[in-house]
Amino acid sequence: MPVVDRQEWDVVVVGAGGAGLRAAIEARERGARTAVICKSLFGKAHTVMAEGGIAAAMANANEHDTWQTHFRDTLRGGKFLNQWRMAELHAQEAPQRVWELETWGALFDRTKDGRISQRNFGGHEYPRLAHVGDRTGLELIRTLQQRIVALQQEDHARTGDHECELKIFQECTVTRVLKDGSRVSGVFAYDRETGRFFVLRAPAVVLATGGIGKSFKVTSNSWEYTGDGHALALLAGAPLLNMEFVQFHPTGMVWPPSVKGILVTESVRGDGGVLRNSEGRRFMFDYVPDVFKEKYAESEQEADGWYDDPEHHRRPPELLPRDEVARAINAEVKAGRGSPHGGVFLDVSTRMPAEVIRRRLPSMYHQFKELADVDITAEPMEVGPTCHYVMGGIAVDSETAAARGVPGLYAAGEVAGGMHGSNRLGGNSLSDLLVFGRRAGWHAAEYARSLARERPRVDDEQIGAASAEALRPFALGAEGGVAGATGTAGAAEAAGAVEAAGGGAENPYTLHQELQQTMNDLVGIIRRAGEMEQALSRLAKLRERAGRVGVEGHRQFNPGWHLALDLRNMLLVSECVARAARERTESRGGHTREDFPAMEREWRNVNLLCALADPAVGRIRLTRETTPPIRPDLLDLFDKEELAKYLTDEELEGGLSR
């Protein structure tokens, strides 16, 4: 029995992004002793990457904006697959969540009359995004971080200890949620700095670990996005919802390699940037789908007129929804009309004077100048789709953010599914974090209080199994040495050869690269049944090889080891994505099937749930479930003609209150 440090807490929050910190604040304010565990330093979470803003119907910029309008936009964006009660709560509570940030010191950009300024964004009917220039995510994180510090200062004033009620365990990774019967009893984690294991015993655990982008080769996500929370929930017995919906942002940088995937903001196109292929053609005119034909321009002349006179011109096709643009770019590249580095050209240099570009797109100018040595006022950018966000996630209760089937487990933020349906609108992620982060923290604290007298027990056997699992890569590394660790380009092949010969440990970096390549090529933006079959068989092989991952060195801050442990999560999640994607035989939002290109009304009320069939093997079982009908008063917010595009006739007949 390994000796590991154990501590007692009421609520443990895994992840210190927007959702995790908001949950921790709420839990602590409601009297729960709360611990936050995060892989990075406190304040470095991926939330800082969010640029656009926080969507909330505060009606500061347009007085007609209401939560109902916001709800409607969200459902349209998600193609009506959203967990509608979540979308409703989200739209109702978002303004309050933004305002309380001000109480904690946030400084948003202002309107002329001193209120929070709100900006336009794709899919939102009114200007709705509270923002701070193009660094809204940073402001959000910093504000929450400083709120946590403020609470710690209060505790310190009272008790002399900053961390007695609310503690951040930074640079620590959770590898298992521990259970007592069906209930959560705590988490097993290791400290990245020292490599030491520890157990936080707690009746309630909030997962707020973000997304899964690091399973894809080209992504705007950081290294932390390895689907940890998704995998922890699966392993704890909670199902994942609709994992096939992955948002690819159409414009990520493709060159140089160091920045491949980094986002090029939508405003570049909004301000007049155009997409061209290698033949110099503005190809988006060829990709306007029939349903959008009336709304988008047919000639360059007409499109160019829109920027100055939107009343009398139709929108340029570059401003089609994200999924359409991403698919079009993908098609151009596949047809051999791509840019030298496998993207297309996004050009503002011939559209605006240099000084206007520098004024309107300062961060983009800066980003390309600093990172790519490209002067966007003089030459076009090369861009291509990049994996950006996963709409799918842990299936949760709309009100409480509780994961299904595992009492004590909660999820909020990107790791939770349902809120965004099949496609997320820009700006809705930050508000999602705040609304459901708070709800998760609130209900986790309540739940923990209800168990104050009979707290679930931590099982020593589970701790033993978890530490053995975490130490495995060292045993293998010591035995076989890391195959391919000294090679360069041929590392993957070398590792494969060693494996075929029946010996040697696998290099985690090599496996990770292969996984990313597999997901990118075979379960990427356009999907086909055959390729997904292929992906699943490759994933099975990778999983088998991952069992033989070995690492060198010791446990202190050893990135190879950390990656080896994260591989388990990425493989699990990738399999969920691939299985669910193969199952859903339609195209909707972030899921595009070449072999089933149409959106089917019959699929609208179908959720795909992934659960762990056999924890020992790590096999995924997929089930379908029918979602509850949308409440009639909410359906009344839409025109019947619009609803008819999404809902089946039976649903329509039974659903409307009118």
**Residues of span 130-159 touching another protein by CB under 8 A:** 132-133, 135, 138-139, 142, 146-147, 149-150, 152-153, 156
Of 492 and 656, which has the nearer Cβ to another protein? 492
Shortest separation between residue 256's beta carbon and another protein, angstroms: 2
Question: Per-residue contact track with another protein, 224 to 263, x per CB under 8 A?
Answer: x------------------------------xxxxx--x-
Shortest separation between residue 616's beta carbon and another protein, angstroms: 29
Distance between CA atoms of residues 407 and 405, nearest Å: 6
Shortest separation between residue 559's beta carbon and another protein, angstroms: 6
- Exactly one of 491, 542, 577, 630 binds another protein (CB under 8 A); which one? 491
Work out the end-to-end distance of the chain between its first and last CA atoms, rounded to an integer number of angstroms: 65
Residue list 507-526, contact with another protein (CB under 8 A): 507-510
Longest CA pairwise span in the chain (Å):
75
- Exactly one of 373, 461, 641, 653 binds another protein (CB under 8 A); which one? 373
Does 49 bind another protein (CB under 8 A)? Our answer is yes
Shortest separation between residue 649's beta carbon and another protein, angstroms: 43
Which CA distances in Å does 287 have to 280, 323, 333, 381, 383? 16, 12, 14, 21, 17
- Exactly one of 33, 44, 217, 314 binds another protein (CB under 8 A); which one? 44
Residue list 404-443, contact with another protein (CB under 8 A): none
Active site residue 322: yes
Does 162 bind another protein (CB under 8 A)? Our answer is yes
Does 105 bind another protein (CB under 8 A)? Our answer is yes
Does 223 bind another protein (CB under 8 A)? Our answer is yes
Of 38 and 238, which has the nearer Cβ to another protein? 38
Distance between CA atoms of residues 315 and 304, nearest Å: 9
Residue list 169-198, contact with another protein (CB under 8 A): 193
- Exactly one of 197, 365, 561, 646 binds another protein (CB under 8 A); which one? 561
Q: Strand 166-170 and strand 34-38: pairing?
A: parallel
- Exactly one of 63, 113, 614, 653 binds another protein (CB under 8 A); which one? 113
The β-bridge partners of 567 are none
Does 367 bind another protein (CB under 8 A)? Our answer is yes
Of 121 and 255, which has the nearer Cβ to another protein? 255
Does 370 bind another protein (CB under 8 A)? Our answer is yes
Q: CB-hemisphere CA count at 13 Å for 225?
A: 26
Does 29 bind another protein (CB under 8 A)? Our answer is no
What string of DSSP letters covers 257-290? GGGTT-B--THHHHTT-EEE-TTS--GGGGG--G
CA neighbor of 350 nearest in space, from 324, 315, 380, 311: 380
Shortest separation between residue 493's beta carbon and another protein, angstroms: 14
Distance of CA 182 to the CA centre of its chain: 27
CA neighbor of 594 nearest in space, from 536, 527, 534, 533: 527
Q: Which two tokens stand for residue 61?
A: 């910029």
The one-letter code for the residue type at 153 is Q
Does 92 bind another protein (CB under 8 A)? Our answer is no
Query: Which residue stretch of 322-330, 350-358, 368-376, 458-466 sits at the interface with another protein (rule: CB under 8 A)?
Result: 368-376
Distance between CA atoms of residues 467 and 528, nearest Å: 40
Q: Is the distance from CB of 281 to CB of 248 less than 8 angstroms? A: no
Residue list 326-365, contact with another protein (CB under 8 A): none
Query: Which residue stretch of 98-106, 401-409, 569-577, 613-621 sits at the interface with another protein (rule: CB under 8 A)?
Result: 98-106
Sign of the alpha-carbon dihedral angle for 229, 264, 121, 330:
negative
Query: Which residue stretch of 118-126, 455-463, 552-560, 609-617 sits at the interface with another protein (rule: CB under 8 A)?
Result: 552-560
Does 99 bind another protein (CB under 8 A)? Our answer is yes
Q: CB-hemisphere CA count at 13 Å for 510?
A: 28
Choice among 128, 183, 276, 322 that is catalytic: 322
Shortest separation between residue 161's beta carbon and another protein, angstroms: 11
Does 110 bind another protein (CB under 8 A)? Our answer is yes
CA neighbor of 260 nearest in space, from 382, 380, 373, 426: 382
Does 485 bind another protein (CB under 8 A)? Our answer is yes
Does 478 bind another protein (CB under 8 A)? Our answer is no
**For residue 215, what is the DSSP state?**
G
Distance between CA atoms of residues 247 and 170, nearest Å: 29
The three-class DSSP label of residue 139 is helix
Within 8 A by CB and 6+ apart from 526, the residues are: 327, 330, 592, 593, 594
Does 655 bind another protein (CB under 8 A)? Our answer is no
Q: Is the distance from CB of 83 to CB of 424 less than 8 angstroms? A: no
Residues designated as active site: 322
